[in-house]
Amino acid sequence: MNTLARESNSQIVKFPDSGTVLPGLVELIAADLAPKVVDIDVNAAYPKEFMHKLGAIGGFASMTPTEFGGSGRGLKHAIQVIEEASKECVSTGFLIWAQYALQWYLVNSANTELKSKMLPKLAMGELLGGTGQSNSMKSCCGIEEARLKATKVEGGWMINGTLPWVSNIGVEHFFHMGATVEGETGLLIGFVPGNHPGLTLVPSPHFVGMDGTNTFACQFRDAFLPDSQVVCRPGAEFTAFAARTKSAFILLQMGMGLGLIDACAAMMKRSNKTHSHVNRYLDDQAEDIEAALLEARAATYALADRIDQDGSAPYVKDTLALRLAGGELSLKAANAAMLHLGAKGYLLNNAAQRRLREAYFIAIVTPATKHLRKELAEMEQAPACCAA
């Protein structure tokens, strides 16, 4: 049965059953992801096989047009896939987001040759990868300095600098990076393989959560980026590119939050079967979290449809506000689940404490809570603090 929710403007939004998002998805998650979540969380196991299998059933194809080997089912569908995986594991949900983010920049690139060559393999999960755009987004908003610099040379660009964290990568993976160019506005965006000459991948120190994400620091030392690997040039091309890509890139992250919040509400309801007599004294109850989830889900799906229809540019502010609310609700839900589960939730193999660490990631990954609040505050004063 479909679930219905009413969006704030009274539009009725239909939620699909988990089983109807993508044929084989629920079965794949149950067989290949659910049994591995503790290994991913505690032992930093990277779910490479699951990712390839997910790609093979169309789990990465939604935002890539059919002419480039995707399914073209759209942003909402991509969010739903991330949401389903995140009901079990946000670390894996983040990897799926990274795979979509990588393709999304290519989809919006004018480099047709690169798109034709790479998108079909990325859409089907034959090749995997991520995005090093956190520093670009933060530098565009005046939060930190741009860490990569590009200099024009014959046939391409010379890249120098270090990105401290890029996930879902390795020597066989791909990612895109953004670099400043002296005298130009905006950024040069490039598409880079993990074994690119002049690039060194340095494994990150261990994280307290999200440790199975294959996260590396990327050091560029006179790394030559040929023009054939340029996704977007600085200046006017970048301004238009950023306007086209921004909302969808960020709204996609809502899949992680929706999946996590759903899982937290389910945990609270299970706990209430034996402990409702005492759980009922807690501030946030399962019904409160579920009601907020239905609203957030309805708002996310409706916004995704609007972005698919009209493009990213008109919806940046709505997206930032919803993404902020999604991070806050994730923290609230995980906190409530932990308090419901009590000491049991404190065990290393119990999902409640993992959900808490995952929720903090949703709130701190770029755009982080403080970043979102800064950008929204600046938008109130002057429109478009930054494009990326």
Ligand X SMILES: Cc1cc2nc3c(=O)[nH]c(=O)nc-3n(C[C@H](O)[C@H](O)[C@H](O)COP(=O)(O)OP(=O)(O)OC[C@H]3O[C@@H](n4cnc5c(N)ncnc54)[C@H](O)[C@@H]3O)c2cc1C
Q: Which residue has the tokens 């991509």?
A: 78
Residue 258 contacts residue 300 (beta carbons within 8 Å): yes
Minimum distance between the CB of residue 319 and ligand X, rounded to whole angstroms? 17
Minimum distance between the CB of residue 2 and ligand X, rounded to whole angstroms? 34
CA distance 194 to 172: 6
Nearest one of 1, 117, 31, 15 to 68, comparing CA atoms: 117
CA distance 365 to 324: 11
Minimum distance between the CB of residue 30 and ligand X, rounded to whole angstroms? 25
Minimum distance between the CB of residue 133 and ligand X, rounded to whole angstroms? 5
Which CB atom, from 166 or from 223, has the smaller least distance to ligand X?
Answer: 166
CA distance 145 to 135: 8
Minimum distance between the CB of residue 85 and ligand X, rounded to whole angstroms? 16
Within the chain, residue ranges assigned H as helices are 18-21, 25-28, 37-43, 48-56, 75-86, 90-107, 112-123, 134-140, 236-251, 254-279, 286-310, 316-341, 351-364, 369-381
Minimum distance between the CB of residue 224 and ligand X, rounded to whole angstroms? 22
Which CB atom, from 41 or from 290, has the smaller least distance to ligand X?
Answer: 41
Which CB atom, from 292 or from 325, has the smaller least distance to ligand X?
Answer: 325
Which CB atom, from 173 or from 297, has the smaller least distance to ligand X?
Answer: 173
How far is residue 58 from each of residues 22, 121, 126, 287, 332, measured CA to CA in Å? 8, 11, 11, 34, 32
Which CB atom, from 186 or from 367, has the smaller least distance to ligand X?
Answer: 367
Which CB atom, from 88 or from 290, has the smaller least distance to ligand X?
Answer: 88
Give the nearest residue (CB) to ligand X: 134
Which CB atom, from 204 or from 350, has the smaller least distance to ligand X?
Answer: 204
Binding of ligand X by 345 (CB under 6 A): no
Residue 169 contacts residue 130 (beta carbons within 8 Å): yes
Residue 371 contacts residue 143 (beta carbons within 8 Å): yes
Binding of ligand X by 300 (CB under 6 A): no
Minimum distance between the CB of residue 211 and ligand X, rounded to whole angstroms? 7
Q: Which of these ranges, 79-87, 108-116, 223-231, 364-372, lies near ligand X under the rule CB under 6 A?
A: 364-372
Interaction with ligand X in 136-195: which residues (CB under 6 A)? Answer: 143-144, 164-167
Which CB atom, from 268 or from 368, has the smaller least distance to ligand X?
Answer: 368
Binding mask 213-252 vs ligand X (x if CB under 6 A, - otherwise)? Answer: x-x-x-----------------------------------
Minimum distance between the CB of residue 145 and ligand X, rounded to whole angstroms? 10
Residue 51 contacts residue 38 (beta carbons within 8 Å): no
CA distance 238 to 236: 5
CA distance 312 to 69: 22
Which CB atom, from 261 or from 362, has the smaller least distance to ligand X?
Answer: 362
Which CB atom, from 33 or from 218, has the smaller least distance to ligand X?
Answer: 218
CA distance 178 to 183: 15
Residue 188 contacts residue 179 (beta carbons within 8 Å): yes
Nearest one of 76, 81, 107, 75 to 94, comparing CA atoms: 81
Binding of ligand X by 366 (CB under 6 A): yes
Binding mask 117-146 vs ligand X (x if CB under 6 A, - otherwise)? Answer: -------------xxxxx--------xx--
Residues binding ligand X: number (CB under 6 A): 22
CA distance 126 to 120: 9
Binding mask 64-93 vs ligand X (x if CB under 6 A, - otherwise)? Answer: ------------------------------
Residues of this chain that interact with ligand X (CB under 6 A) are 98, 130-134, 143-144, 164-167, 204, 207, 210, 213, 215, 217, 364-366, 368
